[in-house]
Amino acid sequence: MNNQDFTFLVNMLKKNSGHILAADKGYLLDSRLGPIARKENFDSVDALVQAMRTRNDERLNATVTEAMTTNETFFFRDRTPFDLFKSEVIPHLAANRTAGSKVKIWCAAASSGQEPYSLAMIQREEAARMKGVQHSILATDISEKVLNKAKTGLYSQFEVQRGLPVQLMVKYFEKAGDLWRIDPSLQQHITFRKFNLLDSFRVMGQFDVVFCRNVLIYFDQETKSDILNRLAQSIAPDGFLFLGAAETVMGLTDAFAPVPGKRGLYVRKDKPAIARVA
């Protein structure tokens, strides 16, 4: 691919998704865009990108953008955030929310659904501690394809074996042919919606907990700062933000403070919620 085509692709991806395609990631082009080129009847990825430069086809641009975003995930990924959700966040919310109220959780890069379903399982297991406090989970992603998979609640043997404790698999999944289907009652608490983190968060409302893990690493510094500052306005004063292990707020925003000794967990700097956990 010539430099002009690569530059066009880099700029298009950044505009549409905020993702930065580094020069050393060029090897991804054939594997991710090859199938699209064949489906769209182009002889090569180069021909596909050259056509995109001249057509200004929003559908094709969106298809390519979706293909180039990373959707790696699995149940209880990195474990620590889910342990902290159980040991730190749930006790705080139980103590500071009234019975009958609803805790709102946002999974801002939900991919194929393993993260929100993991949280739903924890919520079910900890229901007695929540003392009548209900919950809802909004799971968003830029990719329609992975969201459609998430909505089915169907996973392969390999997928349910990645990170999912055996006791939870037995309790919340049932065999469906060669696949495993998650308990439909868990799905009732989750809404899946396509959403681009570059868009305004105002339509999303306010959340008690936001999981925005392993997505900021794909943005440049300016975009990271913008997203974090807007997240601060979308989280309740005593709410919580979870980032990925390789992500930080340091040097990006003054709106959040890390919780000492709790890797990946942040609170609004003006309201250190964790200090109030009994």
Is the pLDDT reported for residue 167 higher than 60? yes
Mind listing the pLDDT tens digit for each residue in 175-188?
A: 999 999 999 999 99
Closest CA to 142 of 64, 196, 192: 196
CA dihedral sign, ordered 198, 203, 206, 209: negative
Q: What is the pLDDT of residue 77?
A: 95
Write the pLDDT tens digit of every residue in 122-164: 999 999 998 889 999 999 999 999 999 999 999 999 999 999 9
Residue 8, pLDDT > 60, answer: yes
Residues of the chain with CATH 1.10.155: 3-68
Amino acid at 223: T
- CATH 3.40.50.150 domain range(s) in the chain: 80-276
For residue 214, the Cα-to-chain-centroid distance in whole angstroms is 8
- Domain 3-68: assigned CATH number: 1.10.155
Query: Does pLDDT of 276 surpass 60?
Result: no
Tell me: pLDDT of 106 over 90.
yes
Place of tokens 């992500």: 247
Residue partners of 43: CB distance under 8 A and separation at least 6 = 37
Q: Tell how far CA 66 is from the center of its chain.
A: 14
> Tokens standing for 16?
């549409």
At 119, the pLDDT band (50, 70, 90 cuts) reads: very high
Q: Does residue 278 have a pLDDT over 60?
A: no
Q: What pLDDT score does 10 carry? A: 87
Closest by alpha carbon to 247, among 266, 275, 229, 230? 266
Model pLDDT, residue 277: 46
Global pTM reads: 0.86
Is the CATH number 3.40.50.150 carried by domain 80-276?
Answer: yes
Q: For 149-158, how does the pLDDT look when each residue is reduced to its tens digit (9 = 90+)?
A: 999 999 999 9
DSSP state of 137: E
CB atoms within 10 A of CB 3: 8
Which residues make beta-bridge pairs with 267?
240, 257
